Amino acid sequence: MLRRNALAATLLGCLLWAPSAMTGATAAQPPAPRYHAYVALGDSFQADSAILPGITDAFVPLGCAQVSYDYPHQVAAALGVADFKDATCGGAVSGSMTGPQPVLGGINAPQFSRLGRGTDLVTVGIGGNDLDLVGMIGRCLALLPLPTVTCPHDPLAERIAAEQQVVAGVLAGIHQRAPRARVLLVNYLAVFPERGCWPYVPISGQDMPYLHRVLLSVDAMLARAAAADPKGTELADTYTPSLGHDVCQSPTVRWTEGLLPLSLNTPGIAVPFHPNHAGADGQAQAVLAQLRAGSPVR
């Protein structure tokens, strides 16, 4: 059990680079450009982290595992943004907004350092690493189709509720540094279905619904944080359009990878339980839809 969990933790934590291939939202007819300075902030779900190989024109260190087809790059291209800074980094926590983040190959500067008074668009996704969701997934992996003794079947209600205040602090920090910016808080994709699919994904039929409920609770918390922000942060909902594209789907359908990434539409290898190229495309489309539907930049 310990060796299996150690292997899972190694795979989940192994964040390297993937080469460029921009499709999806950028192939659609772009809306009229109106944003001039876009900054993307957040964790590996925003960087759409992948393992191996290749190095592109990185704005962040290699260890951030930020791929050039991540949804911020796609959104910036679709909008024709002239000044684009993608600060997203695998492993980022809320503290990475204001403090440096050591990673393989260097240090990612505090993500807020990319913001300025001229910034007029910000996307941010944060909270999963604060709650140790990756570690929780690793503890739920099972060699047998039985509930694991290490997967904590605790609703995490108190920790998730407390995280709302942390996310609110991140949003306040963005508004303080970029007072003109339209801010979108991006939630997490529907990674886990309501029912398990062991052994296709080695999480038992009892543990998979638990992970499904946890992620629902995290996304609900992010929605509350956006709704409560007095400065008008908008929620970019990637969860709803990703329903039916969870880890139990076939490699041509799923938007997030299982323990053994098999999707052929992702250059390199997507990090286990993270978005593949199709997931990045879906995220980009959801963000662009919110930009079209929501309030114009202030």
pLDDT at position 12 is 43
Residue 24 has pLDDT above 50, yes or no: no
Say which residue the tokens 């993500």 belong to.
111
Mean pLDDT of 121-133: 97
More confident: 154 or 265: 154
Cα–Cα distance measured from residue 5 to residue 255, given in angstroms and rounded to the nearest whole number? 24
Mean pLDDT calculated for residue range 260-267: 68
3-class SS of residue 50: strand
Q: What's residue 23's pLDDT?
A: 42
Instruction: Select from 298, 179, 197, 175 the least CA-distant residue to 247.
Output: 197
Q: What is the pLDDT of residue 168?
A: 98
Average pLDDT over residues 71-89: 95
The mean predicted confidence, pLDDT, of the chain is: 86
- Structure confidence by residue, pLDDT tens digits, 169-194: 999 999 999 999 999 999 999 999 99
* Rounded Cα–Cα distance for residues 86 and 66 (Å): 9
CATH assignment, 2-293: 3.40.50.1110
- pLDDT at position 227 is 98
Q: Which amino acid is at 12?
A: L
What distance in Å separates the CA atoms of residue 134 and residue 211, rounded to the nearest whole number? 11
pLDDT at position 14:
37
CA dihedral 60, 65, 70, 71 (to 10 degrees): -80
User: What integer pLDDT is reported at residue 9 of this predicted model?
Assistant: 40
Q: Give the pLDDT mean for 107-118.
A: 97
Q: Specify whether the CB–CB gap between 164 and 224 falls below 8 A.
A: yes
pLDDT in tens, 228-241: 999 999 999 999 99
Residues 218, 246: Cα–Cα separation, whole Å: 16
Higher pLDDT: 154 or 146? It is: 146
Residue 120 tokens, joined: 């007029």
Instruction: Map tokens 């993608």 to a residue.
Output: 86
Mean pLDDT of all residues in 114-132: 97
Residue type at position 202: P
Residue with tokens 């969860």: 239
For residue 210, give the nearest of 153, 148, 134, 290 by alpha carbon: 153
Task: Locate 98 and state its tokens.
Answer: 């204001």
Structure tokens at 245: 């594209």
Q: What is the mean pLDDT of residues 271-293?
A: 94
pLDDT at 269: 76
What's the pLDDT at 157? 87
pTM: 0.87
The domain locations on the chain are 2-293
